[in-house]
Structure 1
Amino acid sequence: MRMSVIGCGYLGAVHAAAMASIGHDVVGIDVDEHKVAVLAHGTAPFFEPRLEELLRDGLTSGRLRFSSDMADARGSDVHFLAVGTPQVAGGHAADLRFVDAALESLLPHLRRGDVVAGKSTVPVGTAERLAARVDETGATLVWNPEFLREGWAVHDTLTPDRLVVGVPDGAGGAGAATLLRKAYASAVATGTPFLVTDLATAELVKGAANAFLATKISFINAMAEIAEAAGADVALLADALGYDTRIGRRYLGSGIGFGGGCLPKDIRAFTARAEELGRGEAVGFLREVDAINLRRRDRAVQMVVDALGGLVFGRRVAVLGAAFKPFSDDIRDSPALDVAVRLRGLGADVVVTDPAALANAEAAHPQLGYAAERDDALRDADAVVIVTEWDEYRRDLTPEHAGSLVAGRVIIDGRNCLDADLWRAAGWSYHGMGRR
């Protein structure tokens, strides 16, 4: 099948490469000529496991190419709309300018019978508005939300846990759903559920999913606050809760909370749209979810201050992590960098390290200190803060090795990912978030 992917950022580049890897003829289109040139050479403009392998294979096979000319989308059977929807400056709503601009550029190149499949995360009601423009060309607009996890995006595209396609009423919608089922035939053949809904439901699925995940994370972090005050251990509490099949253990990892370019902005945009619809009270709890999440960063900074006896000015603090999560170089709304910047503001000598995100972090926050190697960041530190749970921090760093480098033997476990007993037995002042 011939496909175009409009927008070659994180979502679009992964989708284009993955679709080419399963046999489709794909052209990725982006207005950023530099990004197009980088992708056309088989280089990923961001860190994502397996992506460069797929890019190179697709380019070599001839099934994948990239362009900055929207006219190259002409002739595709399905056009995936995968541009970003950031938060508007000074507000919480989603900024739809890029979605609107991309669609307007695509419209002259659509044929009767083409399908435009929106993948961007948009407020409910957006698809209905855009569909009116697409209908004028004889093409059909559907909404096909993505559910990618950064660091697992290739896996999630090739082997999704579900496929949702929102379609308009009528024969056009039914035909579009059939075309999308063919596009994802390899996943459907292995048992991936394929759900056909109306447009509004498909838009709501992504926002609702992120709202639920954010709520679950903030719930356990709220319990961490109570556990800390009561002398309980939130990690054991989460284990006990997780055995209840109605709750489950996933996303009950307490600590410093979530960040990145999706969950924070998406729950705010979800709330903003609910308020526009006159139903803001229905999701009022999401404001508290957001507040709890940000409060965890405050708590992490205070834990460093307390562990250092109330004085951080001039003290060396190693911050392990810059990306908002492991297996990514994404620093958008990164809890790690937020904590680092706040400690720097208190006068600490902060040194940040990260296996993948260091260049992005240094460009965004040049006032911080950086070390390419973990051990260089640890050397002579008065305190260590783990904020991004890369394996080389969570699993590979031993108390004995760290003790040979760290002056203060103070560690703040911002992800509750270490064996507290092991570190304390080795003579460290270990501090978890809500842990005994």
Structure 2
Amino acid sequence: MRKILDTILADEPDRAAALSDLPIPDHYRGVTVHADEADMFAGVPSKDKDPRASLHLDEVATPELGPGEALIAVMASAINYNTVWTSIFEPVSTFKFLKKYGKLSPLAARHDLPYHVVGSDLSGVVLRTGPGVHSWQPGDEVVAHCLNVELEGPDGHNDTMLDSEQRIWGFETNFGGLAELSLVKANQLMPKPAHLTWEEAASPGLVNSTAYRQLVSRNGADVKQGDVVLIWGASGGLGSYATQFALNGGAIPVCVVSNEQKAEICRKMGAELIIDRSAEGYRFWSDEDTQDPKEWQRFGARIRELTGGEDPDIVFEHPGKETFGASVYVARRGGTIVTCASTSGYMHQYDNRYLWMNLKQIIGSHFANYRESWEANRLIDKGLIHPTLSKTYGLAETGQAALDVHHNAHQGKVGVLCLAPEEGLGVRDQDKRARHLSAINRFRGV
């Protein structure tokens, strides 16, 4: 592994040949959860479950490379909520996903192991490609989106997110990105933006693509110029990209945040209409079982005060249970609530009168297909959308990084260095970087 890293860092002219000549290690370090610990948090409230107890840094066997696949030397990765869910074994243990996938084919059986290497983001360098891969070769600098599909049935050939065997890599498959090596399908790969460091390039993947499909794509809300877009958690992982997409596309974001520090981040991105829900004291649930419609009304009135009397054309929903009733209420007549993730709970409740009588619609959105992911990454590469990386940990500190996200003690995205020995490496286009440096660093140190 040291020779692989040295070859990457040396940036030799014929890196492809140099890497091809090096042997692939039999083992590598990866962040894992263990199947025999799936019940370790039984009876513990979700908020008290500690990823530091369940995430391990292990030596794991390098998987066999199959057709259409690529083995990647991972320079950096990032934390997403799916790694938090994996680490606290909610809503179910991911070993159920791996076992089901393992039954699909002899090749898929590789994923059914007593450990799960987690992580759904990466930036790195191609080491090897399997039979049938033509577009990528050893030495290519890449990022990966997290859609894993088989495409052997008809459903996925119009939109790969509808493939009957669609899975999220590193969550519903093994050999994820929080590791020194990772196994991906070649159709997950995209060019690494040359003006970004390894850790910056790794951080947008999952959330950037998810926000693109959810807000911009025709498969989501199909935002247009002038739309008022209510964005929950507008300085967080998903929300920070939704805010950028709204501004970049001529829409009017109304950013909901939980403190003044997060409000200031939104202002740095260019947003002007901001609601600090903590400072203004919104409590959408009067108790654990009862929502308070008067708070929906107060919230809606505040939005109209900011927008000059307009209700949101689009509500960008991802908190779920805590906010969904309010989201349905405040959307304009004929408006759209587009939802994913449900980080505060999956069981949504809302008053259907406000949906059906006002002809609103709810759209479910999940990650993104290859084309949408490619377009989202292209916008990063062109400097029109920027990473929202705030802090970076080492691979051995992944548990703490996941705990930060679990407790919402972070801003934007939290990165993890894998093979990269330090931050700041991997930039190939310094001139482009210089033009966008202040935007790239907006979330740093917050």
Which fold has the larger relative contact order, with Cα–Cα distance below 8 Å and residues 6 or more apart in sequence?
2
TM-score normalised according to structure 1 size: 0.34
TM-score normalised according to structure 2 size: 0.33
Structure with bigger gyration radius: 1
Higher fraction of helix: 1
